[in-house]
Amino acid sequence: MESNTARILDGKALAQKIQQELRSRIEQLTQTADRPPGLAVLMVGDNPASAAYVRNKERACQKLGIASFGRHFTADTPQEELHRAIDELNRDDRVDGILVQLPLPEGLDPVPLIYQIDPDKDADGLHPVNLGRLLRGEPGLRSCTPAGVMRLLEEYQIDLRGKHAVVIGRSILVGKPISLMLLARDATVTMAHSRTPDLTALTREADILIVAVGRPELIDESAVKPGAAVIDVGINRVTDYFGKSRLTGDVLFDSVKNVAGYVTPVPGGVGPMTVTMLMYNTVLSYCRTLGVEL
């Protein structure tokens, strides 16, 4: 590709399109169903970033016609109380999706809470049963951020068959599930991480480069193969010399856009897709309860 021709993968626009489709489907289904879809977000403590994410999710629910059963707990809430709340939500027929907002305050263990969520109500796609379904290529609820990335690649008709995809980051939230999703679409996948030697030599071979490590502006144009699709999953708040803060990704956007064929911005790329796929999972669970197709 020639310089300065990177196409922007607009997650915000795609998120709006999917949300419109979901809203129409919900309106259609609630004419005959006795209830709307329901999502319960459990928020513990007062982490400002988490509070902002929860507000975004609740606004999205309201916009789409999804009933919100959010619960807010103080930071000193005992683990047992959270388990009881999840148990109640598992048994509540009005609730199709359950999500524990991470990170939790110190002293609370998220793993047993996630394991306790009914796999068919696991709106975040993080339960071992759903991760196992992904591994086996079976239908199930998918992790929201990786699923959002895959929808972006699909929307822009980026062919993955036989392409070399490099994923930087091996987390259970993004790196591992996105690698499995790419494999399922016939990409050849290499996973890289903090211990990978000569990372730049590897990333320069990537037709598809997914960066999800939480290190601001780790990847610049020298690390990108000309014409590659670069997906920036990172979202970092950095503060400059004057104390002014801004959001930035793991990719140095202004540099990489001169080399890449496609690139996601931060904000406005993967972020809006994550919330939208959470809504998608909730509506998918709702449809399965009703015995209808989404």
39 pLDDT higher than 60: yes
Mean pLDDT, residues 272-294: 97
**In the structure encoding, which two tokens stand for residue 197, read together?**
């030697």
Instruction: Spot the catalytic one: 19, 57, 176, 225.
Output: 57
5 pLDDT higher than 90: no
- Band the pLDDT of 4: cuts 50, 70, 90: low
The answer to whether 35-118 and 143-270 have equal CATH topology is yes
Which residues contribute to the annotated binding site for NADP(+)? Answer: 169-171, 235
Instruction: For the chain, give the percent of residues with pLDDT over 90.
Output: 91
Mean pLDDT over all residues of the chain?
95
1 pLDDT higher than 80: no
CATH number of 35-118: 3.40.50.10860
pLDDT value of residue 194: 87
Handedness of CA 23, 27, 33, 36 (dihedral sign): positive
Alpha carbon distance 114, 86 (integer Å): 9
Contact 221, 204 (CB under 8 A): no
Instruction: For the chain, give the percent of residues with pLDDT over 70.
Output: 99
CATH number of 143-270: 3.40.50.720
**In the structure encoding, which two tokens stand for residue 123, read together?**
């709106």
Active site residue 28: no
pLDDT value of residue 11: 98
Instruction: Spot the catalytic one: 10, 19, 96, 101.
Output: 101
Alpha carbon distance 263, 265 (integer Å): 7
Q: Containing H/E element for 44? A: strand 38-44
Alpha carbon distance 144, 269 (integer Å): 14
Mean pLDDT, residues 260-281: 97
In the chain, where are the structural domains located? 35-118, 143-270
Alpha carbon distance 1, 96 (integer Å): 45
Active site residue 101: yes
Mean pLDDT, residues 96-123: 97
H-only helix segments in the chain: 11-29, 48-64, 79-91, 110-116, 128-136, 144-155, 175-184, 199-203, 253-256, 270-290
Mean pLDDT, residues 84-107: 97
Alpha carbon distance 109, 87 (integer Å): 16
Alpha carbon distance 274, 152 (integer Å): 11
Mean pLDDT, residues 211-240: 94
130-172: pLDDT as tens digits: 999 999 999 999 999 999 999 999 999 999 999 999 999 999 9
Mean pLDDT lowest among 50-59, 94-103, 143-152: 50-59
Instruction: Spot the catalytic one: 96, 124, 232, 250.
Output: 124
Active site residue 244: no
